[in-house]
Structure 1
Amino acid sequence: MTLKTDENWWRGAVIYQIYPRSFQDSNGDGIGDLAGIIPRLDHIADLGADAIWLSPFFTSPMKDFGYDVSDYCDVDPMFGTLADFDALIARAHDLGLRVMIDLVLSHTSDQHPWFRESRQNRSNPKADWYVWADPKPDGTPPTNWLSIFGGSSWQWDARREQYYLHNFLISQPDLNFHNPAVQEAVLDVARFWLARGVDGFRLDTINFYFHDKYLRDNPALPKELRNDSIAPGVNPYNHQLHLFDKNQPENLEFLRKLRAVMKPFGAAAVGEVGDAQRGLEIMAEYTSGGDKVQMCYPFEMLQPKRLTADAVVQTFARMAAAAPDAWPCWSYSNHDTVRHITRWNLSADAAKAYTVLLACLRGSICLYQGEELGLPEAEIAFEDLQDPYGIEFWPEFKGRDGARTPMVWQSDNRMGGFTQAEKAWLPVSPSHLPLAAGAQGGEGSMLDHYRRVLAFRRTHASLRDGAQVHLQAVGEAVSFLRQDGAETLFCAINLGAGDATLALPEGDWQAIGADLGGIAPEGKTVVLGPWQLCLAQKV
C-alpha cells in the first residue's frame, strides 16, 4: 500500500515511539527485534496513531544501546536485517502508519570506520571529520565543556596527541559539522533511508550538531537557574550556560539542507532539543519559516515537576513570543525519562485527564510504548542495570532503564508475552503484568481511554491543525479554544485535586466527549471536580 501523498501529514500527527530492544522478541534471545515489531503494528494502528518512531536499530557496539552508531546504513544483527526492515515498512504502510527512524547525526561510535581513520594521524582524508583540538599549554583540555554523562567532554588521544570532543560517552566522538564533507556524508545517510521508504526522521540531539569554532569556554550558570529533566541535582553539566558547545547559528543552514533532501519524498523530521534553559526558543527557531525541520520537541512536558495549568500557559506564551509559526511535538514520556505516571505520581483519573490535555493542545504528539497501558516506572536493581548513565550516577539517579523494560502483552506469563527466553535483556516488571495490553480490552481501561481520546482527536479537525486561542489558567484548571474553519471547540481540564469553576466563552455550546469523561456545563459555567474535564462545541 502506498500512503496518500500529503506533505503536511505531520501536522497534528500522533507518533508512537517504539524502543526496539523492548517491544517484541521474535527469536527467543531476550532482545526485541524488527521481525517482532511487525505483528505488533496492529496494536498501534488500532490505537489510532498516524506514525511510528523507531529508536536506533543500526549497527552498533551498543555502549549507549544504539545511540552509538558504527554503520548508519545497516541493521545491527541483534535487530535483524535490512530485509526485516523492508518488511516492517511494507506492513506499516499497509496499516496506514508512516515510519520515522531515529537518526543520531551529532556523533558516532568510536568504532565507526570514519573515526577509526580520523584518529590515525592529522593528515589522513578524514582527519578533520571529528572535533579535534590541541591541549592548552599545561596539557589540560581545550575548553571547560562538560559531557552530559559526567566529566570533561574532551578525551585525550595519544596517536594524534590531541583531544577529541564527546558530548556524551567517551566512546561517542562528535562529528565536525564545520566540515562540508561531513554534512554531505550525513545527508547521504538520510537519502539512503528515504529511498528505502521511510517517511521521516526523529533527529537525536538536533542542537548539538555544531560547536563553537573558536572553542570559547562556557560561562557558569547560577545555581537558581539550573535545571535538568533527567537527573536533577546530580550532574555538573548543569553548572554551565551552554553557549558554545551546542546551539550554534550555523545549524540553521544545515537544517535547511536537510529539509531540501526530505522535500521530494514528502518526509518530515522531529528534532530533539536538549536544552534546559532555551529549549522552547530553539524549537521555535528550528521549526519556523517552513524551511528547516517541521517540528521539534522541547523538554517542558518531560520535567520532573508535574505539569500545571500555569506552566501550560507560560509555555505557549514563550513559544508565541519566539515564533508564532513554531510547531511543537509534545510528549510526557520517552526512553530517557522516568515514566510520567510515576514522575508526577498520577492516579488513573489524573493520567486520563493529562491524556486528554495532550490530545487537545496545539501541536503534534509522541506517545511512548506502554504509556497507553498506564505503565509506571519499573524498579530495577543495581545488578540488573544496563544504562551507563544510571550506573554512573547511582544511587542518586537510577538511570533510564526503568522506562526501557519490555513491553507487556499478556498477563498470564512472567515474561509478559515479550519473549520465550528465560531472561530478557532487562527484567519484565511484575507490577506491569496486570496492565498488559491483552488484559485491557474492557471499557474504562487506560488502553480503552487512549483509543477513545485519539479517535476524538481524529474526528475534530481543529484539534489536528486548528488555531489555539484564549489559553488561560483558572486555579489548577487550564482552558482554551481550538478553531478550524466552522468548528470551534472549548477545552477545559482540571489538573488538580481541588474544584475549579470556569465561565464558558460567549455563544451557544453543546457538550461533547462524554465517553472521555467530559461533563456538561451548567448554563454559562462549568464546575470541574478533581481531574474532571469539559469539552464543548460551539453551535
Structure 2
Amino acid sequence: MEKTKIVPQRPSSGKTDWWRGAAIYQIYPRSFQDVDGDGIGDLKGITKHLPYVASLGVDAIWLSPFFTSPQADMGYDVADYCDVDPMFGTLADFDALVAEAHRLGLKVIIDQVLSHSSDQHPWFIESRTSRTNPKADWYVWADPKPDGTAPNNWLSVFGGPAWEWDGVRKQYYMHNFLASQPDLNFHNPHVQEALLKAVRFWLERGVDGFRLDTVNYYFHDKELRNNPPHRLHDGDGAGLDAPDVNPYGMQEHLHDKTQPENIGFLQKLRALLDQYEGRTTVGEVGDGARSLKTVAAYTTGGDKLHMCYTFDLLGPEFTPRHIRDCVTAFARSVKDGWICWAFSNHDVNRHVSRFAQGKEHHAPVAKLAISILASLRGSICLYQGEELGLPEADLAFEDLRDPYGIRFWPSFKGRDGCRTPMPWEKGKKHGGFSTTRPWLPVPEEHLPLAVDAQEKDKASVLAHYRATLAFRREHPALIDGAMHFLEVQEDVLAFLREENGEKLVFLFNMRHGPQEVALPEHLTVKQVLPMPGMRGQLEGDRVRLESLDGFCGRV
C-alpha cells in the first residue's frame, strides 16, 4: 500500500474547546486491523493505521469498547472498566496508541458504558450472591408480583421483558439490553463513586474525552411504575426499536430512563473532567420525540455534557427538509449546548445504502453526504469505512454475530452489516484486514473500494473526504459560525454560514437531475469558492447545479 501523506491538524495546544466543530473518526476495534492473526482487530492494528486516520484531516478518534468483556454484545458488556480485553491487547498497547495519536495531533475519545455492566463483572457476581452482601444494591433488584411475574411492564431494547429472574436471590434484576447486561443502580452513591473512579483511571492515562453510551439510561424510577403505551409508536433508535420490529417502541418510556436524577450525576462527571485540561464528553441520547429536550437538559449551563448526538440523521431520510428540520429543531431547543452530527455509526445501516437509489449512486451520494455534513454547524462524527463509500454488507444468517440481529431475524438483520472489517488492500485475501478468517466476512463488493485502490484515484470517495475536511478547516465559519437557512425549491438545501466577517452561501441539490436555483435578492456572490467535488456554476443571479451537486460562494 502506498505511503499515506499526513495532513496537518488544527493547532491543539492551549485550546480547551477543541471539540467545538471537531471532526471525529469512529473506530470499531474488532474490524479495523488484525495484527496478531486471530481474525479480530486489535489495538496494535489501530496504532498501525493512525497515520492513515490523520491523513483524513480529522481532529480525534473515538474508540468503541475494548475493555475486558465476555463479548455478548461486542464489548458493550463490560467485565472490567479499567483493563483491556486480551483479544485487543494490553494496557501497554493502549498507552502506545494514545502516544502515537497525540504525536499525530489526534485526540483520543473512548467509549464509557456506564448504565450497565456484564453479568460477569465482579460487582454483579457479588451482588447476586445474597440480599445482604456489600454490593447487594449495586444493581436494580426487585421482588416478583404475587403471581411470580416481573415487577412491572418495562421492556428490553433487545426484545422481551427488561427483567430476568435470579434463582439465588429469588428476585428479578433489570436489564435494558441483554439479560447478560444488568443495569447498575445509580441511586446508590457508591456505584456513582466507583464509575467516576473508572473514568478517572482513563483520564490519568491521557484520554481526551468520552463517548457516553446510552447516557439517558443511567437512572430508573425508584417506584418502578409501569410505562404507559405510546400512542404514536415512535421508536428511539433509528431501527433498533421501531415498533414494526420491536415492541419496545410501543411504550412511552417515562419511568425506565431519562430520570431527573441523571442531571446530578452528569454534573459530578463534568466536575471530574474539569480537573483535567481540554477534556470533552459526547453523550448518546435515544429518547424518541423527547431527544432534543433531553439534549438541551444535558448540555446547557456548561456544567454537564459538552455535546450530545441523537438518532435524527441516522434514519432513512436524506432530504433538504429533513436536514433543515433537524438542525432548526436543535437550534430552537438547545440554546447554549452543542451537538455532534453523524450519518453513520456502528448501530445503523451504512448511509450510502440508506440514501442511494441504486449502486450507481453510491459514490455520488457518499460525496454529497460528507459535503453537507462538513458544512453543518456542530461537530461531526465519521464512521470507519464511510470515507471509502462502503455500502451495507448483506450477510447470511449463519454469519451473524450481533445478538440483536439474531433475535429479530429476518424482519431486521441487525448491525453486523455495518461492522464488517475494513478493506485495506484490494488484492489481498480478506482485504488485508487479517491473515486468517475474520470474525465477520469481508464482502466481495468492498474489495474494489479498498484503501490502496482509492489512494491511487484522485476522483475517489477517499480523496473527496480528505479535500472536503481540508476545506472545512480552511474556513472558520464552518467550525463555529452561525447558520441560517434560505428558502429555495424543495429539493435544494440552502443556508448561510457566517463568522468574523466571513459569510458563505451553500446550495446542495439533493435531487437526481440538474436544477437552477435563483439566489435570494439580498445576496450577491462576490467570489465562487471551489468546493471539492462540487460542480455548481454561477450564472448571473442563478446557480446551476448538476445531479447530487453543490455550490459555495462568499457573499
TM over 0.5: yes
Q: Is the 8 A contact 1:3 1:93 kept in 2?
A: no
Change (3 A) 1:362 1:143: same
The answer for unaligned runs of 5 or more in structure 2 is 1-8
Structure 2: distance between partners of 1:470 and 1:344: 22
Q: 2:458 matched to 1:443? A: yes
Change (3 A) 1:234 1:413: same
Q: Is the 8 A contact 2:233 2:249 kept in 1?
A: no
**Partner amino acid, structure 2, of 1:461:** P
Match of 2:202 in 1: 193
Change (3 A) 1:514 1:298: closer
Q: What is the Cα deviation at residue 282 of structure 1?
A: 1.4
User: Considering only aligned residues, what root-mean-square deviation do their CA atoms show, in Å?
Assistant: 1.6
Match of 2:495 in 1: 480
Q: What is the Cα deviation at residue 263 of structure 1?
A: 1.3
**What are the within-5 Å matches in structure 2 for residues 254-403 of structure 1?**
254-265=265-276, 266-303=278-315, 305-345=316-356, 347=361, 348-403=363-418
Q: What is the Cα deviation at residue 200 of structure 1?
A: 0.3
Structure 1: distance between partners of 2:494 and 2:223: 47
Q: Alpha-carbon deviations, 1:17-47, whole Å to 9, x = none?
A: 0000000001111110001111100111000
Structure 1: distance between partners of 2:76 and 2:236: 24
Match of 1:129 in 2: 138
The answer for unaligned runs of 5 or more in structure 1 is none
> Which one is further off, 190-199 or 496-505?
496-505
**Partner amino acid, structure 2, of 1:317:** T
Q: Alpha-carbon deviations, 1:323-343, whole Å to 9, x = none?
A: 222311011111110101112
Q: 2:544 matched to 1:527? A: yes
Q: 2:79 matched to 1:70? A: yes
Q: What is the Cα deviation at residue 523 of structure 1?
A: 1.9
Change (3 A) 1:152 1:472: farther
**Partner amino acid, structure 2, of 1:443:** K
Q: Alpha-carbon deviations, 1:448-492, whole Å to 9, x = none?
A: 000000000000011011111235463111111111111111111
Structure 2: distance between partners of 1:53 and 1:161: 40
Q: Is the 8 A contact 1:511 1:519 kept in 2?
A: no
Match of 1:512 in 2: 529
Q: Is the 8 A contact 1:353 1:533 kept in 2?
A: yes
Q: Is the 8 A contact 1:310 1:473 kept in 2?
A: no
Residue of 422, 428, 435 corresponding to 2:442: 428
Q: What is the Cα deviation at residue 414 of structure 1?
A: 2.5
What is the TM-score when the length of structure 1 is the normalising length?
Answer: 0.97
Change (3 A) 1:227 1:181: closer
What is the TM-score when the length of structure 2 is the normalising length?
Answer: 0.94
Q: 2:416 matched to 1:405? A: no
Q: What is the Cα deviation at residue 5 of structure 1?
A: 3.0
**What are the within-5 Å matches in structure 2 for residues 196-207 of structure 1?**
196-207=205-216
Structure 2: distance between partners of 1:508 and 1:537: 6
Structure 2: distance between partners of 1:195 and 1:209: 24
Q: What is the Cα deviation at residue 524 of structure 1?
A: 2.1
**Partner amino acid, structure 2, of 1:536:** G
> Which one is further off, 500-509 or 74-83?
500-509
**Partner amino acid, structure 2, of 1:503:** L
> Which one is further off, 488-497 or 81-90?
488-497
Match of 2:66 in 1: 57
Secondary structure, counterpart of 1:341 in structure 2: helix
Q: Is the 8 A contact 1:15 1:53 kept in 2?
A: yes
**Partner amino acid, structure 2, of 1:23:** F
Match of 1:212 in 2: 221
Structure 2: distance between partners of 1:365 and 1:514: 18
Match of 1:183 in 2: 192
Structure 2: distance between partners of 1:131 and 1:228: 24
Identity across aligned pairs (percent)? 57
Structure 1: distance between partners of 2:154 and 2:36: 43
